[in-house]
Structure 1
């Protein structure tokens, strides 16, 4: 590896990202560690550089430039107390809402906190006086690092420009030698640009989005978790005009109340379909538009990461747009409705028919899914979803339950909303969150949760002693962490049960009794169905379903295999 080539590509990438975003002024405080970036800025035809030796004055100078122009200005300094001297002007910029992009060069990690000269703790040095702060990786030859740089630089720029405007801080560690190759070509960026609006978009942005959607040959809509109250009618009108397949995450709540004239476009079985490598290879899109977060499905994430669509538009109101797999090419910072108002009338294509046909195959296999396998949690989930009444809500646990929701919750004309804690995907606090949901929505509520997750938050039931609730809790008790049975750890017998299976041997009848909840324990799908159909006579009902981790894995894999065969 030629370190000079790598360093040059790194600093030229950062320069290109700034210029590409329309930021073309940099105020440089001379210093040694910042040499590569200073060279990159000075040698760029599109970057106007200003020198000010005194860092405190340099920062205020940049503040004046940004205040007068209304556009972000770059500040660059070396490591050590030079960084500290920027702080007064940064504080002013924060409270005056002036956009600054502060780049502070830093020592590499091995020279931090070991007594090296000009090395201070620069991480989060500006505290609450910046809107965004990130410590960049050292230069290396790594495509994932390039994706990281592209996305995080654009997040920083977007944060600086988003009301209230303000300063952002990017700490850049650099290892000697610090010289670059001025003749080296500019690197190719993996991200295009941001399209910004709010409840509506400017005409030039609408025209650009219209053109991108119009020119697509094989287009796809992805709907992740969306805000409550989204205008579903507007969403389906947008989808119908494009005639593109809509991959609906269960938390989008677009699998419910699906209009009949859009029924075919709603693709809910994409997780199972994309486990088929042959289908995934034949169904690669050239254009994707995503609303909301990246969906739960891991096969979908891998499919998108591997295929890398040429155009990937993410509609996300936050400047910190979500792109965990590094495929977004255009960030549309606006409310979903601003984009959904754009109508692009297209005809259904063979690409769309490929998806709808495959979805039919998978759906028929879910419809005829064998619920007689002892210990299978998929059968429990399927029966629960079929019995959810119109006008009810479901809260799902974050581990195996939400994946069973993704697999077995089929599109419906019923009004059923689904919720889950997927911000950090943790298993704690689920019971409490479900009760909070029910209190807000005042509709019959169901909670699908695993035994470990229920144990984490059994105190969440305390709230039922103070208020009235209508809650049915289904505890899937597989005596431990069921999701680990799907991971590579399960193939290693050594210590699997003690470290991952974590069986507790606990049941929950006594907990139900303590809270005066209606309780039943069942061990088969048939018994579960009978229990579901019984009258609910108490505000809180708990149905504990005993399952088997090994049988559950085998049943799920058999279903995925049947989908593969059906597609073949």
Structure 2
């Protein structure tokens, strides 16, 4: 067997494997040919080839979110690496360890008007933990030692502490096509490990915090996006049994318990000022990523709490409610497990009971409203959410899809995800496809027609498994703009914000080998959904056609349905 003669590529691939990387997404090119050859000879890494670098990066992001480990991303020189920026920014804020490897020309040719000689090193510096630049020369023990040390450091950086992407810019000189017999060297084998003792609260810290959380203090726990975590789920379940503790969680927090209130917007929207004031907590504890709910953010900014603690591994001080008093740099599961073990019921409190009474009333009003509305985005989402299989991986695009999903209970869905790190519309389809390639069950993407058009190139990739199901809400393009206050009343709305052009989804589905389904009423949606979801040898797309203006009006009416 012959491989590349570039030792830097061989060292890099060897260390990817030793640090646990099992998936790489490759975009083909010329300058990265030696690295592609080295990867091709490595059976320990599964390779996915995606031509479009922007889509490739989101596919890597989707993979990383499910495997909960590092995923490598490889591109050639020139503008290729710049296309990674949206996905890498998302990965940074979702704390996903993507290892970006960009092939580059030797540094002496940068800015010399030669082909593809732009400044690649640190091109992603704002959205990676660290950037590394490996020189083209790797032909003696000193240079091989340097490459080995740098790659080990990059992997440790990505995987330790607050996980995040790193960027390795790998200079490669010509010739690029020389091959040699495969042989191991000391530098491909030398792995640098890492030991990081877990952070736990000291007895004094624990005692102090538990005192602040004990009755009669009112405690509100709020969960933003988070990966599924059994320890976190169980610990919060025990805390939610305390009469003075209420747990609010978003659908993408991925915690499930009958004691959790998982429809935040639906619940808060029926409270008047007096109701909100009476339920304002003494201590609010947040965990996970950025919140979708604008209602809870406005609530806690307007009704200032006495204390706000944020729990999680972070490099930044996150003060979203403008009331932060304590930053706790621990994994949420470990923190809440210690707190739950130490909490004791003492003074009676009706705080949790009052929140749950509001939640029950909100659910009754929700059911009554949804049962009375005409065919619209909301009625379609009601049917879809009720028919999703319990073991599916639900992927939601940004825009109205994630906002509608927040209004319905996700307790019976195994996992829900959305690109809420930076909330970009780009790459939602690619992310879902990437997730589907490493999840054994069914992955369902619910997206809007504008989001789908933005990432339509994702449908061309070869790695889409038959278990991938894509629901496109076809509501005239940009339904969110018909609802939000900043655009809904603008005279330019229909011409500049929403996209009304014909979207040939059926033709695209057929061209790229998808099974295609349509629905334009509750009856047709219920009738076609089972066929859409059935096991097949091809992935499936369903277009759900809903009226644009009526859907926006129904959603506005939902938040005016009642106030306590």
Question: Which category describes the TM-score, using the shorter chain as reference length?
Answer: 0.5 to 0.7
Deviations 1:60-81 (A, max 9, x none): xxxxxxxxxxxxxxxxxxxxxx
Q: Distance in 1 between matches of 2:161 and 2:487?
A: 48
TM-score scaled by length of structure 1: 0.60
- Residue in 1 aligned with 2:217? 217
Contact 1:222 1:290 in 2 (8 A): yes
Q: Distance in 2 between matches of 1:319 and 1:216?
A: 33
Contact 2:433 2:464 in 1 (8 A): no
- Residue in 1 aligned with 2:561? 562
**Residue 294 of structure 1, CA deviation:** 3.9
**Residue 440 of structure 1, CA deviation:** 1.9
Contact 1:200 1:334 in 2 (8 A): yes
Q: Distance in 2 between matches of 1:131 and 1:418?
A: 26
Match of 1:475 among 472, 475, 478: 472
- Say whether 1:501 aligns with 2:502: no
Q: Distance in 1 between matches of 2:244 and 2:218?
A: 10
Q: Distance in 1 between matches of 2:480 and 2:548?
A: 9
Q: Distance in 1 between matches of 2:228 and 2:515?
A: 30
Q: Distance in 2 between matches of 1:383 and 1:563?
A: 23
Q: 5+ unaligned residues in a row in structure 2: which ranges?
A: 1-121, 131-159, 163-196
- Residue in 2 aligned with 1:277? 272
Q: 1:331 to 1:198 in 2, by over 3 A?
A: farther
- Residue in 1 aligned with 2:538? 539
- Residue in 2 aligned with 1:245? 246
Shifted more, 338-347 versus 283-292: the winner is: 338-347
Q: 1:436 to 1:242 in 2, by over 3 A?
A: farther
Contact 2:266 2:366 in 1 (8 A): no
Deviations 1:20-72 (A, max 9, x none): xxxxxxxxxxxxxxxxxxxxxxxxxxxxxxxxxxxxxxxxxxxxxxxxxxxxx
**Residue 131 of structure 1, CA deviation:** 8.4
**Residue 433 of structure 1, CA deviation:** 0.5
**Residue 407 of structure 1, CA deviation:** 0.8
Q: 1:529 to 1:327 in 2, by over 3 A?
A: farther
- Residue in 2 aligned with 1:327? 323
Q: 1:352 to 1:518 in 2, by over 3 A?
A: same
Q: 1:216 to 1:306 in 2, by over 3 A?
A: farther
Q: Distance in 2 between matches of 1:163 and 1:384?
A: 39
- Residue in 2 aligned with 1:550? 549
Q: Distance in 2 between matches of 1:273 and 1:244?
A: 16
Deviations 1:401-434 (A, max 9, x none): 00001112x153x352100000110111111110
Q: Distance in 2 between matches of 1:163 and 1:533?
A: 44
Q: Distance in 2 between matches of 1:418 and 1:222?
A: 17
**Residue 246 of structure 1, CA deviation:** 0.8
2:339 match: secondary structure: coil
Q: Distance in 2 between matches of 1:479 and 1:237?
A: 45
- Residue in 2 aligned with 1:15? none
Q: Distance in 2 between matches of 1:525 and 1:243?
A: 42
Q: Distance in 2 between matches of 1:415 and 1:296?
A: 18
- Residue in 2 aligned with 1:428? 426
- Residue in 1 aligned with 2:260? 266
**Residue 563 of structure 1, CA deviation:** 3.9
Please show how residues 64-143 of structure 1 align to structure 2 within 5 Å: none
- Say whether 1:456 aligns with 2:454: yes
**Residue 163 of structure 1, CA deviation:** 7.3
Deviations 1:73-127 (A, max 9, x none): xxxxxxxxxxxxxxxxxxxxxxxxxxxxxxxxxxxxxxxxxxxxxxxxxxx9xx9
Q: Distance in 2 between matches of 1:348 and 1:378?
A: 40
Q: 1:368 to 1:445 in 2, by over 3 A?
A: farther
**Residue 450 of structure 1, CA deviation:** 0.4
- Residue in 2 aligned with 1:520? 517
**Residue 314 of structure 1, CA deviation:** 0.7
Q: How big is the alpha-carbon RMSD for the aligned residues of Structure 1 and Structure 2?
A: 2.8
- Say whether 1:318 aligns with 2:314: yes
**Residue 230 of structure 1, CA deviation:** 4.4
1:245 match: secondary structure: strand
Please show how residues 84-483 of structure 1 align to structure 2 within 5 Å: 198-214=198-214, 217-231=217-231, 232-241=233-242, 243-254=244-255, 256=256, 258=257, 263=258, 265-275=259-269, 276-278=271-273, 279-340=275-336, 341-343=338-340, 344-346=343-345, 349-370=349-370, 373-408=373-408, 410-412=409-411, 414-463=412-461, 465-466=462-463, 468-483=465-480
TM-score scaled by length of structure 2: 0.61
**Residue 283 of structure 1, CA deviation:** 1.7
Q: 1:290 to 1:524 in 2, by over 3 A?
A: same
Q: 1:291 to 1:492 in 2, by over 3 A?
A: closer
Q: Which has the higher contact order (CA 8 A, sep 6+)?
A: 2
Q: 1:524 to 1:319 in 2, by over 3 A?
A: same
1:562 match: secondary structure: coil
Contact 1:294 1:323 in 2 (8 A): no
Q: 1:517 to 1:499 in 2, by over 3 A?
A: same
Computing the radius of gyration over CA atoms, which structure comes out larger, 1 or 2?
Answer: 1
Contact 1:273 1:563 in 2 (8 A): no
**Residue 471 of structure 1, CA deviation:** 1.5
1:385 match: secondary structure: helix
Q: How many residues end up aligned between the 2 structures?
A: 369
Q: Distance in 1 between matches of 2:363 and 2:372?
A: 18
